[in-house]
Amino acid sequence: MRTVPTLFALVLALAVVACSSGTSTGSPAGSGAVASALGWHDELTAGTDKLDVATTVAPISSIARNVGGARIRLHGLIPDATNSHTFEPAPSDAKVLANADLIVVNGLHLEQPTLELAEASKRADTPIKLLADNTISREEWLFDFSFPESEGDPNPHLWMNVQYALHYAELLRDWFSQADAPNKAYYAANFDAYRSRLDQLDGMVKQGVASVPEKSRKLLTYHDSWAYWARQYGFKVIGAVQASDFSDPSPQEVARLIDQVKAEQVPAIFGSEVFPSPVLEQIARESGAKFVDALRDDEPPGAQNAPAHTYVGMLKKDMQIMIEALGGDPTAFEPLVVTDTYGS
């Protein structure tokens, strides 16, 4: 049974946003515009026929959509192509969180401002679920240049590893079933269909990686979102340009990376469409490596309602780009269908 959130909760939620320090990389207009375009806010008072689920980054929203299908109302809070580490939710997002039956975040310290707003504005009976924290143990956390252990924030990008994404889907199946027991069989069937698709993707990634010369299975990226992917599929991350405070590396660090790329004969280094990096261009130019500025870790391809705007679509495109640039054969991914798998 839905209850109307108290005035105190909403006021506290707004205060959390108003008092947040720093400059927001995701403007309130951006967040609200995405929600409005998909009709999320308009649907919040549409009744209790569906489970209202609030999520954060687009890949998690895509996984949740494939498991929840037509029996949930999905509210993705962090717009595509937004720095999820520094994103601060808009005051209007407090309404989404106050009306949610279930709030799902990645965790591992990724979405702290959103998590704080969720704690302040949610109903007392609404659970907040953390995917990454329920997928790996502390001993399995990875730290790196972008996420140094000295600062205590582990690399949170588990979803780039298809096996971890599958576990996310399994967790969501169980959480949706707990919150909406009459539709347990529906969520289970959706999970089974999605698992088949992710198993297919996982096999193709292994096949694509096997086609890359072993000496070229090395990654230098701007933002290190590939650590868990590399550990799973036998790649070595040799560096990441973006520091934990999002500053550019020092000239000495740039020189060291140039020398490393030359010494290890890395054929290509990878930027991000979300984080343009002149520094990576310099490293590529001076090391002789190819610069590929097209990888995505939280922005599925195409428009919001495009068939390929899915987690699977994002990984397929990333793999085709990366494997070809490193001298492998990307054709293994051609048969992969990337559209949603859930039933009506």
Residue 17 has pLDDT above 80, yes or no: no
Q: What is the mean pLDDT of residues 212-216?
A: 96
Give the pairing of strands 128-130 and 218-221.
unpaired
Higher pLDDT, 39 or 98: 98
Q: What is the mean pLDDT of residues 254-273?
A: 90
> b/e for 278-317, b at 16 or more Cβ within 10 A?
ebbeebbeebebebbbebbbbbbbbeeeeebbbbbbbbbb
Q: Which of 152-166, 216-230, 270-284 has the lowest mean pLDDT?
A: 270-284
Higher pLDDT, 1 or 205: 205
Residue 38 has pLDDT above 50, yes or no: no
Residue 62 has pLDDT above 80, yes or no: yes
Higher pLDDT, 324 or 251: 324
- Residue 304: the pLDDT is 82
- Residue 278: the pLDDT is 83
- Residue 203: the pLDDT is 98
Q: Does domain 8-132+141-197 have CATH number 3.40.50.1980?
A: yes
Residue 16 has pLDDT above 90, yes or no: no
Q: Which of 115-124, 142-151, 152-161, 320-329 has the lowest mean pLDDT?
A: 142-151
Q: Are 294 and 179 in contact (CB under 8 A)?
A: no
Parts of the chain belonging to CATH 3.40.50.1980 = 8-132+141-197, 214-333
Most confident of the ranges 188-197, 248-257, 274-283: 188-197
pLDDT in tens, 102-131: 999 999 999 988 999 999 999 999 999 999
pTM of the model: 0.84
Q: What is the mean pLDDT of residues 44-66?
A: 85
Higher pLDDT, 74 or 10: 74
- Residue 275: the pLDDT is 67
pLDDT bracket for residue 249 (50, 70, 90): confident
pLDDT bracket for residue 5 (50, 70, 90): very low
Q: What percent of the chain has pLDDT over 90?
A: 62
pLDDT bracket for residue 67 (50, 70, 90): very high
**DSSP assignments along 83-126, one per residue:** -TTT----TTHHHHHHH-SEEEE--TTS-HHHHHHHHHHS-TT-
Q: Which of 190-194, 220-224, 240-244 has the lowest mean pLDDT?
A: 240-244
- Residue 205: the pLDDT is 98
Higher pLDDT, 90 or 189: 189
Q: What is the mean pLDDT of residues 57-71?
A: 97
3-state class percentages of the chain: helix first, strand second, coil last, to nearest 5: 50, 10, 40
User: 3-class SS at 249?
Assistant: coil
- Residue 144: the pLDDT is 84
| Fold assignment, 214-333 | Rossmann fold (3.40.50)
